[in-house]
Every structure is written in structure tokens, then in C-alpha cells.
Amino acid sequence: MAQKKTIKKNKSSKKNFDNKKTDHGILKEIIRVDHAGEYGATKIYEGQIAIFGKNTKIGKTIKHMADQEQEHIEKFQELIVSERVRPTALLPLWSLAGYTLGVGTALMGEKAAMACTVAVEKVIGEHYNEQIFLLKDDQKKLKSTIKKFAADELEHHDIGIAHDAEKTPGYKLLTKVIELGCKVAIVVSKKI
Ligand SMILES: [Fe+2]
Ligand SMILES: [Fe+2]
């Protein structure tokens, strides 16, 4: 005898389609993790500029990206205060990790430094694009800020490619390791 299965309607499934209000917890996580990421990015470029010098050709290219990262971090510093978001407790770790990554890849050469940019900006760019879907109509301003920053990160990624990042010996392994590190940092910085 065939059994009849009853399917219960999930009443709570509707709330996920509310497009007006951003989940407060998600908003705080977005600001915390973006603040952490932009802080790390400024440190990576600071480390690379410390090795190359800001007046060399490559140094000037990196400085252009570093200046944009500075604009990004300042915006998230503002939001940390105005939205009363606790910054990640791991900022000192990201500072050290970012700077070390910057110095380390710069010491490996210009192409490796650019490979670092490609890896980092790929992850950050994708991460921003995910956030654009999590932010609802009540956060239009933040949404357009993140869209603008995502475009900057894509530009940085493309600068890296244009500077022969892919010709770095061990490019695939190097970028995979850096991408993984960034992804772990993102997961951890949302919560801690
Ligand atoms: Fe940035
Ligand atoms: Fe960037």
C-alpha cells in the first residue's frame, strides 16, 4: 500500500525574500569584515612599497592602489563608528599578516607582488559582489559604496594581470595559498 506523504508548509521561508530590510546581524558582519579586509589590504601594499620604494615604476603603480585602499578603509572606519560595530579583535594579526605578505611577495619580485594582488583582489571582489545581494533597500548607500569599491578591486586585479602576475614561477600555488588565507580571514573576521 502506497504511503501518503504530507508536506508541511514552511511559514518562515517567506522572510528570506523580504527585500526591504537588511538583517541587522548581517549588516554588522559586513562592516566588521570589510573593515578588516581593507585594513589588511593597506598593510599588504605598505609592505610592498617598503621594499620597492614609492618612487620606482612599480612602486608608483602600487601606490595608486594603496591610495584607493586608504579611501576604502577610511569609509569603513567611519561606518564602524556610526553603526556602532565592534571591529574584529584580530586587527593586530591582520596587520602583521598583511604586512608580512606584502614584504614577502615583494622580495620574491615584481611579478610575485602582482600575483599577490591578483589573488587578494579576486577574493575581495567576489566577497563584495556577494554582499551586494545581502544588502537590501534600507542600505542603498552602503550598497553603492561597496559596488564602487568592488570596481576598484577589479581594477587592481586587472593591474596585477597586466603586470605579468601570471608569469610568476609557481603562480598557481602562490595564488591558491593566498586566496585560501584571505578566505579564512574573511570567515574568522565576521565573527571574532
Ligand atoms: Fe579595497
Ligand atoms: Fe584593492
CATH of the domain at 109: 1.20.1260
Which region among 6-10, 102-106, 167-171 has the lowest average model confidence (pLDDT)?
6-10
8 Å CB contact between 14 and 45: no
Q: Does residue 2 form part of some domain?
A: no
Query: In which domain, by residue range, is 185 found?
Result: 23-191
- 119 CA distance to ligand 1 middle (Å): 13
Q: Is residue 55 in a domain?
A: yes
pLDDT by residue (tens digit) across 143-154? Answer: 999 999 999 999
Does residue 6 form part of some domain? no
Of all ligands present, the nearest one to the C-alpha of 45 is 2
- How many domains is the chain partitioned into structurally? 1
Q: Which ligand is nearest to the CA of 71?
A: 1
Please report the pLDDT score of residue 50 as a whole number. Answer: 97
Q: What pLDDT, in 10s, does the model give residues 120-141?
A: 999 999 999 999 989 998 999 9
What's the 106 CA to ligand 2 centre distance in angstroms?
A: 16
State in Å: Cα 68 to ligand 1 middle: 7
The model's pTM: 0.83
Residue 12 has pLDDT above 50, yes or no: no
- Ligand closest to 44 (CA) is 2
- Within a domain: 145: yes
